[in-house]
Amino acid sequence: MGSSSVWTPGVLPSWKTTIFFFNVISAVVARRHAVYWNSTNARLTEGDLSIQMDLNDYLDIYCPYYPSKGSQGSGQSEMLALYLIGEESFQGCVETRGAIKRWECNTPHAPFGPIRFSEKIQRFTPFSLGFEFLPGRHYYYSSLPIDEGPPLPCMKLRVTVCCESKSEGSKQLQVTKARSGAASPSTASFPIVLVLLTLTT
């Protein structure tokens, strides 16, 4: 008779443990950066909002939202499209050749809350609609009102992906100091490693 493998309760197969391990570590290391994209966000309308992100971080864009149809006051509900644009187009909010339309905020009265779009900052993406980011580069977002919406001020965001190269030790040091109040990935993941070792023994 051939040998049969018997699953023991409480013991995870090694491949499942590996997948679980990498998923947990990714969740611990990655950060989420929220931006509420509407005309009341003064930093967006003034064009001085800049975010520094690491690879595998997430950019969360929240669309304009109104809980009820009368909550926006006397004006119309804001509806817009967001674009990824080149640096030369960052000075003004005009539709330019080469701009990549990322999302459209056209449901300002969504019953379940504000619509959120998430951009994962990664070098490679398996999705056709995904975008690939390179370390040390700047990326620029802007918005334009869609046909159904009212005129809107120019709103802009710059995203900087850290870091250009490991040889830039001074820049790495500055980033480390700025995050001194947060747990480091190695420190945060150490208890998780102990849990996984317990499950596999």
Alpha-carbon dihedral sign for residues 96, 97, 98, 102 = positive
pLDDT bucket at 70, cuts 50 / 70 / 90: low
Gap between the Cα atoms of 111 and 65, Å rounded:
10
Confidence of residue 29 (pLDDT cuts 50, 70, 90): low
| Cα separation, 196 vs 190, whole angstroms | 10
Is the pLDDT assigned to residue 195 strictly greater than 80? no
What is the pLDDT averaged over residues 183-198? 40
- Strand 50-54 vs strand 156-162: parallel, antiparallel, or unpaired? parallel
pTM: 0.65
- Mean pLDDT over residues 23-51, rounded? 83
List the 156-162 sheet strands across, edge first: 50-54, 156-162, 138-145, 80-85, 100-105
* 116-120 β-sheet, strand order: 32-36, 58-62, 116-120
Evaluate if residue 14 carries a pLDDT over 60: yes
**Mean pLDDT value of segment 71-77:** 70
pLDDT tens digit sequence for 144-175:
998 877 889 999 999 999 976 554 443 443 43
The whole-number average pLDDT for the span 28-54 is: 91
* C-alpha dist (Å) from residue 137 to 56, 85, 149, 161: 15, 13, 33, 6
Question: How far, in Å, are 12, 30, 31, 191 from residue 201 at the CA level?
Answer: 9, 28, 31, 16
Out of 21-35, 43-57, 141-155, which region has the weakest mean confidence (pLDDT)? 21-35
- Tell me what the mean pLDDT of segment 62-78 comes to: 79
- Phi and psi of 53, rounded to 5°? -130, 155
Evaluate if residue 64 carries a pLDDT over 60.
yes
- Among 130-134, 185-189, 196-200, top mean pLDDT goes to 130-134
CA distance 32 to 74: 34
Q: Give the list of residues 6+ apart from residue 169 with CB closer than 8 angstroms, or none.
A: none
User: In the predicted model, is pLDDT for residue 66 greater than 70?
Assistant: yes
pLDDT digit string, tens, across residues 111-126? 999 999 999 999 887 7
